[in-house]
Every structure is written in structure tokens, then in C-alpha cells.
Amino acid sequence: MQSSLLVMTVIGTDRPGLVDSVASLVTQHGGNWLESRMSRLGGQFAGILRIELPQDRQASLVEALRLLSSQGLAVVVHQDQPSNAPAQQPLYLLDIMGQDRPGIVRDISRALARRNVNVEELDTECASAAMSGETVFKARATVKLPPDCDLNDLSRELQKIGEDLIVDVAIQRLPAG
């Protein structure tokens, strides 16, 4: 029996049982929940997940997930697309922290995009600084550099952006494994 790999996004007003409503349908259709990232932001619950299920059950699962819209949950389903990037490319950790201001994510992501750096994962938050009470922006990203990207040049560019925005920016290679 052939299987399908699906990636889906879910979003809806946060409430107890939201994840269970998706997980139950995946299981009812013979699917296996492989991985996910989910979070509550601003009263909404959003996530992305990857599942595997028998290919002949895919259409019925997609239809069942579509019906969750009556419960206020929007689900978008895509076929999993294998990555074209070489698996051996090293990963780097990018840390950003400083006083919050508009444009931080835009300026950093623009510099990464110009160098064809792929953002594998990005987490951001704004929080009150312990002593001053000012809003502090924090970001942590896992990125994959293409073979022709010079880490020193990228690091210098990110440092310059950090100086302009008055934020600390650090990038370091993650251990393999």
C-alpha cells in the first residue's frame, strides 16, 4: 500500500480540544502524526504539522479536515515536497536581541535572502526587560547557508544591521548530529 506525506497548517480561535479534533481525524483515517510546531498567539492557535497516511485515505481525510471550518478551524493541506537542498549542509543558529523597533525581522531576513540563506525555523517574541520595563525583541533562527555563502561576510553584514538597529546579532554553527 502506498502512503502519502502531507503538510498542513491549522489556525483557529484557541480552545481546549483543538489539537484533538485534528489528531482524531488523522488517526481515524489511518494516519501517523510525524512532526509539528504549534503555538497560541494573540488568542489564535496556529500550527504546522506533517503526517503520513495511506494514499487511498488522503481525499477522505482532506474532506473531513475541511469540515472543521464549521468549528472555526481553518486547515490547509499540501503534499510534502522533498527538499532539493543537500542534506549535508550545516545548520547555523542566529540569535537577535535588543530594544524592539519596526523593521528588525525585515532587515535581517532581507540580508539572509540576498545570500540565499534558508530559514529552517524562526521563533520571535517581545517581552518586558527586567530592569527598565522597555520592550525587548528576541529572535532565534535556525538557518542553512548555501555552499557559496561566506560566513564571515554574512556575519559582518548582520553585525552592521545590528548596529544600525541597536540590536545584538550573533550567528554560530550548530554541532552536526
Q: Which residues contact 21 (CB under 8 A, 6 or more apart)?
A: 68, 71, 73
DSSP string across 82-129:
---S-TTPPEEEEEEEEE--TTHHHHHHHHHHHTT-EEEEEEEEEEE-
- pTM equals 0.81
Residue 82 has pLDDT above 70, yes or no: yes
pLDDT score at 97: 95
* Model confidence pLDDT, tens digit, residues 112-126: 999 999 999 999 999
Domains of the chain are 3-79 (3.30.70.260), 91-173 (3.30.70.260)
Please state, for a pLDDT cut of 70, what percent of the chain lies above it: 97
